[in-house]
Amino acid sequence: MTKAEQQQAVAILVPGQFNDHAVGRLDRTFSRVWIERPDASLVTDEMRRTVRGIAAFGGINAALIDALPNLEIIANFGVGYDSVDARHAAQRGVMVTNTPDVLTEEVADTAIGLLINTVRELPRAETWLRDGSWARDGNYRLSRLTLRGRRVGIFGMGRIGVAIARRLEAFGLPIAYHNRRQVEGLSYEYHGTLKGLAEAVDTLISVAPGGASTEKAVNTGILSALGPNGVFVNIGRGSTVDEAALAAALAGGTIAAAGLDVFADEPNVPPALLAAPNTSLLPHVGSASEHTRRAMADLCVDNLISWFSQGRALTPVPETEKVKARS
């Protein structure tokens, strides 16, 4: 049997909806198995016997991993993998991969667009034109906020954070950041705590990953430190924000405005944020261009192909870097 034939016999589980381009490549290369959602109770005896890989948008918990005794690799579609239990996977000897780099520039572009929309109210100005208000009532109001004179803080200075910072440099804005540790080679001002960063800036962009360590990290204290001229933008994970505290801060003038592309319980957005006039809200479209999603799909599938043909993953997550392919 050739290597290509061997790969064709490998069963890859795809729970729920998945990228069409990735599905097409999976069908040409592997034996694709589908279930409605990533739920261990949906795993059949046949799946337990045959499934060796998972390709998914996330949501892979310990129970699902344990339900598949022959599982070798989980190929996560996206750079964030907080909804995959990577630590448990590592304990089980299961590789986990993600799709870094290929979405960095797209997400950074979205972050800058969201920031400008939030500060200059461009979506509302466009609505003013489209609904006839400009012709009927005159010019749209002057925006209260501007990027001029702002100081920007980035929470999470990884690949995307750096790409955002470099774009902001072109705006002539000073940049600072908070990370778990200082990034070697960066000249931006580093703050050892998120509170210290918020106190030093008036514009906070969160690119932080999800997980227990960042759960509701942006809370009342952080928003208060940002101040009444403060702008908060979240392009990372909704779980990093106390959304009730954010809604209260927007309503009470604790901060001036917020731009959000991610939410804690997607696609459900808290009514208080929907109703807030000083928000710009997007439906998690940070990497959502055909170009970038295709590149993410290719990397997701390429990780599976490399694993089953060469015994190595292209982009393993840190928790599973030491996992070896089974002989």
Q: Point out the residues that are catalytic.
A: 237, 266, 284
How many of the other CB atoms lie within 10 Å of CB of 185?
6
Structural tokens at position 88 = 């448990």
Encode burial over 262-281: b for 16+ CB neighbours within 10 A, e otherwise: bbbeeeebeeebeebebbbb
Alpha helices in 70-146 (DSSP H): 86-91, 104-120, 122-130, 133-137
Region label for 97, one of left (φ > 0), alpha (ψ between -120 and 50) or beta (otherwise)? beta
Q: For the chain, how long is the longest CA-to-CA vector?
A: 74
Half-sphere exposure of 25 (CA within 13 A, CB side): 17
